[in-house]
Structure 1
Amino acid sequence: MTDSKRPRIPRGLKQDGAALWSYGFRPFFLGGAIWAVAAMALWIAALAHGRPLGGDFGAPLWHAHEMVWGFAPAVLAGFLLTAVPNWTGSLPVSGKPLIALAAIWAAGRLAMAGAALTGAPLAALIDAAFLPALLAIAGREIVAGRKWNDLKVLGGCAAVMAGNLGFHAAVLTGGDPQLWLRAAVAGYVALVLIIGGRIIPSFTRNWLKQRGAERMPAPYDRFDMGVIACSALALAAWTFAPEAAATTAAVLVASVLNAARLARWRGLAARAEGLLLVLHAAYGFVPLGFAALAAAGAGLLLPVSALHVLTVGVIATMMLAVMTRATRGHTGRALTASGWTMASYGCLFAAALARPLADLTGAMGLMEASGLLWIAAFGLFIAEHGGMLLRVRRQPRAAAA
């Protein structure tokens, strides 16, 4: 079948109807932020009042699932549906196809929240539909645009999708879903290594050039490729053998290598702009997260605390950084962070550190504080950027994803 006869997904910047459905970042950034607040509030209520949550999944597994496969895929979708058109030169998916994709994601959240009523098998079936649909859309656009180098991004997405399927299979068959949780987290961290290594030095270089700086971030080279390869091996070892001595050594090496990689990007030179500084700070949680995994392997930190450094520190912080930058850039606002934006970043940094600090110090209330800080971070994003995502379109000021 020729390109002219191949069925196409309707796409383009819709100029009629609700602005929400004109571009992928709009519904998914807003929906992801709303669910980040709602899901954490439900989890805190379950802990505080002993209320049932998640049906046969149980409250702890429901909480883990909805952070890793509920909130995070929405932000991932918003990023991919915005970035892939920039990479390939195609027009973005919008209108009815975008509404349908958002509906699939929302149906998964309702099914998982109501698993006590629907039963775990039906909830799993509904929830599992979203990531394959997203992967198919993003993959089709990358292949159609012949951007073969960008296919590696889909590898991390595929790991997240496989983790979700494995998680549901393990729950339904009485297996251990923790391996699949680690696999998905590893997939997200791999995406940060790949995409973060692409956008952080690029945005920093552009900002420094505008200000006449002479020294620029190091260009992508073999060192970056080596760091990504070593980190991928360390993540694979952690996924399948988190307590092995070889894994502890591998994640420790990955920590050192990623710290050296980050140092090459001149983050401190861009500290005057919060939208840039937060990207460097979010990547800074990568070496810290690998170090936390090493500490857990050595018995110095609980594995769940180390996991939170990755999920909150690396994944969520990088996602919030991208959400704020892309929202401002693609709605015509200046690419600069307000005081409210910086406050949201600070809340999420504190949330990422509070959980392991609770483990190390035994201080009462730090675990609860971590959840409340998470709610504050995404609540501030909704308050400041929700209107930008919903209001009438503006011509983009700059590419931001």
Structure 2
Amino acid sequence: MTDFVRIPDQKRSLFEAPVFSEGFRVFFPLTALYALFSIVIWGLVLADVLPMPFDADPLLFHQYEMFFGVFAGAMAGFLTTALPSWSNTPKIAGAQLAGLGALWLAGRVAFWLLGVLPAPAVFVVQALFPAAVLFIVLPRLWQTKMRHLLWPVLLLFAAQLMSFWELSVFGVFERGLAVAEGALVLMVLTSLAPITMVIVNDALSTRKDGAVFIPRPPMRRAALFCITAFTLAKVLGASDALQGWLALASACAVLNMLQDWHLPGALRTPFAKALYLTYWFFGIGFAMQAGGLLELLPAGAYVSGQHMLFIGGLSLATFMVLIIAGLRHAGYSLKLPKLPGVGILALIGACLVRSLGPLFVPDLNIMPLAWSLFALAFTLYLIHFLPVFLRENAVE
């Protein structure tokens, strides 16, 4: 009789856990958690419930952390997940992915210790994350058809360095933030092209005539050119009139991209509707900024336009990527779950309240409602997706 010896199961290391198998599993929940944390702290600071933890302009630092914390984290999750399949290279996973997540966390912790640690030390720690991301993704990105994403990624890193320099020399960093804003808008509009192709063609799949949605590159390039020119005008301190006309050109160019969407059935799914609305928010945001700069709208229109662009454009686009990429790469079909669906509505509500509220009801303090809706959106996202990211891929 043969004796069988049972070999004990090998223990999996921490870095072999599902959460470290792909970039979206690390950075999507971190992004959502930090968006929730930031907006709660920000709201309490502006409501005078909490003091600012360091002596600085809270508006500038709120914008800074949204750009280089929340949006940069989402960008890292998207790129580290998509690039391996785009470039036919090994996954960015395990200890390498954990290290990137640790650098991102270190940068966020360092930010909130700005009143304790020397500013140069804080910003050196923060610079480690984008430098590591560039080191990992640039060689792969160069091999893909999406290599034009190189420029906004590099521009975002340059914006962070510019912010460091401005803060140390002038005590503010408005030009660095202007570069970051432009880089993120360029990145989102570029990244949305393949995503919208998948989503809209899924919506068109029930048509019997075989209609296909293909966003025309010349329209996108025209929008990217106008936005780049508007960003450059802000950075160089051009006249309000020139900035206003360039903002108006950006609005027209973005809205012109929607011509490709006007196919019967293209907006059949909730995903398609939300992405379509994102372009409208970008366009109207630029138009409101133009109206404020050209004095065609009330003085507060410029700031309202910025928030429509930040919340309705950048934040909603980011939220949609977190949902769509989260579902697809975790093995689920493109069916909108209920909680994230309510989260989309909450984020749209936050955009409308924050951008239009000060113009139509200036005497009413509705900012807490906007912050609450923003926080609700990311809370609902986390409730649904956090368990998804911690377990193995589903099979549907």
TM-score scaled by structure 2? 0.89
Measure the CA separation in 2 of the matches of 1:338 and 1:188: 27
Measure the CA separation in 1 of the matches of 2:97 and 2:40: 28
Pair 1:186-2:185 in alignment:
no
Measure the CA separation in 1 of the matches of 2:217 and 2:139: 28
Residue of structure 1 equivalent to 2:381: 381
Residue of structure 1 equivalent to 2:80: 81
Contact residue 203 and residue 269 of structure 2 kept, 8 A: no
- The letter for the 1-side match of 2:378 is F
> Equivalent residues in 2 for 1:139-288 (5 A)?
139-143=138-142, 146-147=143-144, 149-209=145-205, 211-241=207-237, 243-266=239-262, 269-288=265-284
Residue of structure 2 equivalent to 1:392: 392
- The letter for the 2-side match of 1:394 is A
Measure the CA separation in 2 of the matches of 1:141 and 1:221: 23
Task: Find the residue that maps to 1:272 and give its secondary structure.
Answer: coil
Percent of aligned pairs with the same amino acid: 25
Task: Find the residue that maps to 2:333 and give its secondary structure.
Answer: coil
- The letter for the 1-side match of 2:67 is V
Measure the CA separation in 2 of the matches of 1:294 and 1:311: 15
Residue of structure 2 equivalent to 1:293: 289
- Do the aligned partners of residues 227 and 153 (structure 1) sit closer, same or farther apart at CA in structure 2, a change above 3 Å counting? same
Residue of structure 1 equivalent to 2:130: 131
Contact residue 330 and residue 388 of structure 2 kept, 8 A: yes
**Superimposed CA distance per residue, residues 109-158 of structure 1 (whole angstroms, 9 cap, x where no aligned partner):** 10101211213222111112111211221102123xx32x4222021112
**Superimposed CA distance per residue, residues 270-311 of structure 1 (whole angstroms, 9 cap, x where no aligned partner):** 333212221222122221121122022123343332221221
Number of equivalent positions = 380
Q: Which deviates further from its counterpart, 97-106 or 212-221?
A: 212-221
- Do the aligned partners of residues 348 and 213 (structure 1) sit closer, same or farther apart at CA in structure 2, a change above 3 Å counting? farther
Task: Find the residue that maps to 2:116 and give its secondary structure.
Answer: helix
Task: Find the residue that maps to 1:364 and give its secondary structure.
Answer: coil
**Superimposed CA distance per residue, residues 182-209 of structure 1 (whole angstroms, 9 cap, x where no aligned partner):** 1101101011221223321343124413
- The letter for the 2-side match of 1:290 is F
TM-score scaled by structure 1? 0.88
- Do the aligned partners of residues 293 and 239 (structure 1) sit closer, same or farther apart at CA in structure 2, a change above 3 Å counting? farther
- The letter for the 2-side match of 1:51 is L
Q: Which deviates further from its counterpart, 226-235 or 354-363?
A: 226-235
Residue of structure 2 equivalent to 1:7: none
Q: Which deviates further from its counterpart, 210-219 or 228-237?
A: 210-219
Measure the CA separation in 1 of the matches of 2:101 and 2:217: 37
Measure the CA separation in 1 of the matches of 2:337 and 2:239: 43
Measure the CA separation in 1 of the matches of 2:157 and 2:304: 24
- The letter for the 1-side match of 2:369 is A
Pair 1:26-2:22 in alignment:
no
Structure showing greater radius of gyration is 2
- Do the aligned partners of residues 237 and 198 (structure 1) sit closer, same or farther apart at CA in structure 2, a change above 3 Å counting? farther
> Equivalent residues in 2 for 1:94-113 (5 A)?
94-113=93-112
Measure the CA separation in 1 of the matches of 2:336 and 2:264: 16
Contact residue 268 and residue 277 of structure 1 kept, 8 A: no
Measure the CA separation in 1 of the matches of 2:58 and 2:252: 36
Unpaired runs of at least 5, structure 1: 1-13
Contact residue 286 and residue 306 of structure 2 kept, 8 A: no
Unpaired runs of at least 5, structure 2: 1-12
**Superimposed CA distance per residue, residues 321-367 of structure 1 (whole angstroms, 9 cap, x where no aligned partner):** 01001111111112111232221111111212222223212042222
Measure the CA separation in 1 of the matches of 2:173 and 2:376: 29
- The letter for the 1-side match of 2:269 is E
Contact residue 183 and residue 239 of structure 1 kept, 8 A: yes
Contact residue 346 and residue 377 of structure 2 kept, 8 A: yes
Task: Find the residue that maps to 2:92 and give its secondary structure.
Answer: coil
- Do the aligned partners of residues 16 and 239 (structure 1) sit closer, same or farther apart at CA in structure 2, a change above 3 Å counting? closer
Q: Which deviates further from its counterpart, 37-46 or 26-35?
A: 37-46
Measure the CA separation in 1 of the matches of 2:32 and 2:263: 27
- The letter for the 1-side match of 2:303 is V
User: Cα RMSD over matched residues?
Assistant: 2.2
Aligned-pair CA distance for 1:36 = 0.4
Measure the CA separation in 1 of the matches of 2:57 and 2:15: 43
Task: Find the residue that maps to 2:265 and give its secondary structure.
Answer: helix
Contact residue 278 and residue 317 of structure 2 kept, 8 A: yes
Aligned-pair CA distance for 1:25 = 0.5
Contact residue 107 and residue 125 of structure 2 kept, 8 A: yes
- Do the aligned partners of residues 65 and 85 (structure 1) sit closer, same or farther apart at CA in structure 2, a change above 3 Å counting? same
**Superimposed CA distance per residue, residues 345-400 of structure 1 (whole angstroms, 9 cap, x where no aligned partner):** 111112122222232120422222211111011111101111111122335x6xxx
Contact residue 193 and residue 215 of structure 2 kept, 8 A: no
Measure the CA separation in 1 of the matches of 2:277 and 2:235: 25
**Superimposed CA distance per residue, residues 54-77 of structure 1 (whole angstroms, 9 cap, x where no aligned partner):** 424443332121111111111010
Measure the CA separation in 2 of the matches of 1:270 and 1:313: 21
Contact residue 354 and residue 370 of structure 2 kept, 8 A: yes
Residue of structure 1 equivalent to 2:356: 357
Measure the CA separation in 1 of the matches of 2:184 and 2:251: 16
> Equivalent residues in 2 for 1:325-340 (5 A)?
325-340=324-339
Contact residue 242 and residue 297 of structure 1 kept, 8 A: no
Contact residue 27 and residue 77 of structure 2 kept, 8 A: yes
